[in-house]
Structure 1
Amino acid sequence: MGHMISLTASDTHHFSAYEAGTPDAKRALVVIQEIFGLTDHIRAVCDELAEHHGYHVIAPALFDRAERDTVLPYDDAGMKKGLALKDRIAPDDLLADVTASAHALNRHGHTRVGVLGFCWGGLVAWEAATRTRDFAAAVAWYGGGIASVSHEKPHCPTQLHFGGEDAHIPHTDIATIRENRPEVEIFVYDDAGHGFGCEDRPSFNKPARDLAHARTMAFFDRHL
């Protein structure tokens, strides 16, 4: 099991983060939360990566910029509050926290760090790949909003996963990303909705989750 730590961004903002694994792990990842915060699910993802795949993982608490120690329920009220908190945080500030997490892993001796984001975190992972040079590989699961910034080119190999039945991300968005970024690997899971990788959400789809997970691990194996 992981534990909470405190990190400091380049602008001196102090924030919490969940850390799993040890510095002698073979690979390192920054995991980016959904719109609901550092939920039990996100922590479980970090623990799985550390315990079963040998990763050293840090997941920053991005909501700390607006409201500290915030974890929201997987319901409409939780999403509404999460979106409101998100709107209070500048994208550059988010990236400052994400890169501070990468630098913390660098200080532990990891020279190649990946980034893995879910939901809102998928968009943040995309922006970390396109707007910084701190990551050696990036993967986003059901990242809404990527289409609107898909003219920005990632500085590292990038892989995207979408649900074919995602009511929040239309197929036209996926088509836009494919057109703008043909070099990016994109997978669509026909029967899966938004949040298909989270066991705590009604949209959980185990076959899609397992396949996306296998592809994600293989991708990081190649590039980290």
Structure 2
Amino acid sequence: MQIELAAADGHRLSAWRAGPEDATRALVVVQEIFGVNRHMRHVCDQFAAEGYAVVCPALFDRAEPGVELGYGPEDRKQGMALRGRIDAAATLLDIEAAAAALPAGAKRGIVGYCWGGTVAWHGATRSQCFAASVGYYGGGIAAAKEERPSCPVQLHFGAEDHGIPLADVDAVRAAQPGVEVFVYPGAGHGFACEERDSFNAAATEQAMKRTLAFLARHLG
């Protein structure tokens, strides 16, 4: 269901909520550069089916409310432009607002994809709101690889991701020996999105199993 959040700076944004309201474990799910679209709602429903309370904040609301994009070239261009208009510090306020909307007392994690993968890393290193963080193909993680996470982190990358060189993944591994890093052969950027041409069902299944096991260990 659609809800409204209030960030600490007074900004109001929409979000998608799913899962049991009395859950003891909860997640902020962070969008790609395509908005809180059908795919992101599907991801939320997947985690909700595992017993998580989920809130997925509409980060684009900072630039343009109500944006839901597809996966064509023009959609990508628009998404990149919108992302470029949003400050990372403001995005952090939005994910913290989403965390505050989760059930009181629940252990909270964060899972992000694409742009959201980088945001999930920032959630671990720049916020104290989360007990676990999982990032999928976050292109900005390498640039922030020296930042120290305050919670356990698991990262997923595609070996054929032309936007994230394996040298960047290796650099993250070297800088963060305590972080779980997985690379999926034959998988490209966005491999876990069933609506993208790069969707890789085998890699998605394996990554989801690892994600759920990781979250179960750290969120109970």
1:126 corresponds to which of 121, 130, 134? 121
Deviation at 1:26, TM superposition (A): 3.3
Tell me the SS of whatever aligns to 1:195.
coil
**1:94-120 deviations in Å (ceiling 9; x for gaps):** 000000110111xx2234200000000
The answer to whether residue 2 in structure 2 is matched with residue 4 in structure 1 is yes
Distance 1:30 1:145 in 2: 19
User: What is the aligned partner in structure 2 of residue 148 from structure 1?
Assistant: 143
AA partner of residue 24 (structure 2): K
Answer whether contact 1:161 1:186 (CA < 8 A) is retained: yes
The answer to whether residue 105 in structure 2 is matched with residue 101 in structure 1 is no
AA partner of residue 63 (structure 1): F
Aligned residues: 219
Deviation at 1:22, TM superposition (A): 2.0
The answer to whether residue 202 in structure 2 is matched with residue 204 in structure 1 is no
Identity over aligned pairs, percent: 53
Answer whether contact 1:144 1:168 (CA < 8 A) is retained: yes
Deviation at 1:83, TM superposition (A): 1.0
1:58 corresponds to which of 37, 55, 58? 55
Distance 2:157 2:33 in 1: 16
AA partner of residue 81 (structure 2): A
Distance 1:110 1:158 in 2: 21
TM-score w.r.t. the length of structure 2 is 0.98
AA partner of residue 126 (structure 1): W
Answer whether contact 2:23 2:106 (CA < 8 A) is retained: no
Listed as ranges, the matches of 1:10-49 within 5 Å are 10-49=8-47
AA partner of residue 163 (structure 1): G
Answer whether contact 1:32 1:117 (CA < 8 A) is retained: yes
Q: Which runs of 4+ in 1 moved over 3 A?
A: none
**1:133-154 deviations in Å (ceiling 9; x for gaps):** 0000000011111001000011
Distance 1:214 1:175 in 2: 23
Deviation at 1:200, TM superposition (A): 0.3
Tell me the SS of whatever aligns to 2:157.
strand
Answer whether contact 1:23 1:109 (CA < 8 A) is retained: no
Distance 1:174 1:102 in 2: 28
Question: Structure 2 stretches of 5 or more lacking a match?
Answer: none
AA partner of residue 19 (structure 1): R
TM-score w.r.t. the length of structure 1 is 0.96
Cα separation, partners in 2 of 1:79 and 1:110, compared to 1, 3 Å:
farther
The answer to whether residue 155 in structure 2 is matched with residue 160 in structure 1 is yes
**1:21-76 deviations in Å (ceiling 9; x for gaps):** 1222231000000010001011001011112x001000000000000000111011
Answer whether contact 1:28 1:110 (CA < 8 A) is retained: no
Distance 2:57 2:104 in 1: 19
Q: Which moved more, 1:80-89 or 1:204-213?
A: 80-89
Answer whether contact 2:24 2:107 (CA < 8 A) is retained: no
The answer to whether residue 181 in structure 2 is matched with residue 186 in structure 1 is yes
Distance 1:220 1:110 in 2: 16
Distance 1:218 1:197 in 2: 17
